Structure 1
Amino acid sequence: MAAEGRQRIDKWLFFARAVKSRSLAAKLAVAGRVRINRDKATQASDLVKIGDVLTITLDGRILVWKVLAPGIRRGPAEEARTLYEDMSPAPTPKAETVPDAIAPLRDAGSGRPTKRERRQTDRLRDEN
């Protein structure tokens, strides 16, 4: 059925051990979390061939893999690593990450005003 040297994306992801099952690989492709040469894979039956670059979003990570061979079976991890070349960017070390927002410092017990303090503040505002 498929052209020589081509393989379904769900089978290839399963053989390359990107996911635990073929059904999870199919869901990943249908959800649009896999790109084949910058184009979103819309179906599990989309075909990959040698030389294609896959961008996979998986568990908060971005994997960039170049397809080196079609898979024959889901073998050991050493065999799975021969199916692709990992071109993923190196993850940033935890020490160099910039926090999104710095939490303001407060004295202990000086959080939100109590109901009584809120009424007092409202009275002050109404007096002006």
Structure 2
Amino acid sequence: MRIDKYLWCIRLFKTRSIATDACKKGHIKVNNTSVKPSRELFGNEELLVRKNQINYKIKVLDIPPNRVGAKLVDLYRKDLTPKEEFERTELLKYSKDYYRKKGTGRPTKKDRRDIDEYNNDNDD
């Protein structure tokens, strides 16, 4: 089975074209080598998938006949992703909040109205 189709079948990507684009960009590696979307995939291979700033490590257990339900996904793959990858995304989330607080950029409509009201009160 093609690797892009496999990633779509195990519900790692929402559409097959998104999986194809990820392969073309080099986000998918099989046994630590970047692959094309047309590469044939066999059992007992390890995939490294970079998605949403997380490096998922997946072992192929079996090839599904077609797209499978969410409950059956674990029959065809084994997730070997370390917990540190998920913890790193939590740290990134906090670091983004640190540099720029929400709402501190461009004034909102309410802020603008408050400023206009303040200026009109001072003009009198």
- Between the aligned partners of 2:45 and 2:14, the Cα distance in structure 1 is 22
Structure of greater Rg? 1
Superposition deviation, residue 48 in structure 1: 1.3
Q: Give the TM-score taking structure 2 as reference length.
A: 0.67
d(CA) in 2 for partners of 1:70 and 1:27? 21
Equivalent of residue 40 in structure 1, options 34, 38, 41: 34
What is the number of equivalent residue pairs in this alignment? 94
User: Once the 2 structures are TM-superposed, how far is the Cα of residue 98 of structure 1 from its aligned partner?
Assistant: 9.5
Question: Could you tell me the TM-score, scaled by structure 1's length?
Answer: 0.65
Consecutive unaligned residues of structure 1, counting only runs of 5 or more, are: 1-6, 104-128
Distance 1:88 1:20 in 2: 20
The DSSP-based 3-state class of the residue aligned with 2:41 is: strand
* Cross-structure match for 1:12: 6
Identity score, percent: 23
Name the residue aligned to 1:27.
Answer: 21
Does the C-alpha gap of structure 1 residues 98 and 78 become closer, same or farther in structure 2, counting only changes over 3 Å? Answer: closer
Distance 2:79 2:4 in 1: 18
1:10–1:29 Cα contact (<8 Å) kept: yes
SS at match of 1:26: helix
More helix by share: 2
Deviation at 1:16, TM superposition (A): 0.7
Any gaps of 5 or more consecutive residues in structure 2? 100-124
Runs of 4+ in 1 over 6 A off after TM superposition: none
1:83 aligns with 2:79: no
Tell me the distance in 2 between the aligned counterparts of 1:19 and 1:81: 15
Give matches, 1:1-128, under 5 Å: 7-41=1-35, 43-90=36-83, 91-92=86-87, 94=90
1:92/1:45 CA distance change after superposition, 3 Å: same
User: Could you say what secondary structure the match of 1:88 adopts?
Assistant: coil
RMSD over aligned Cα atoms: 2.3
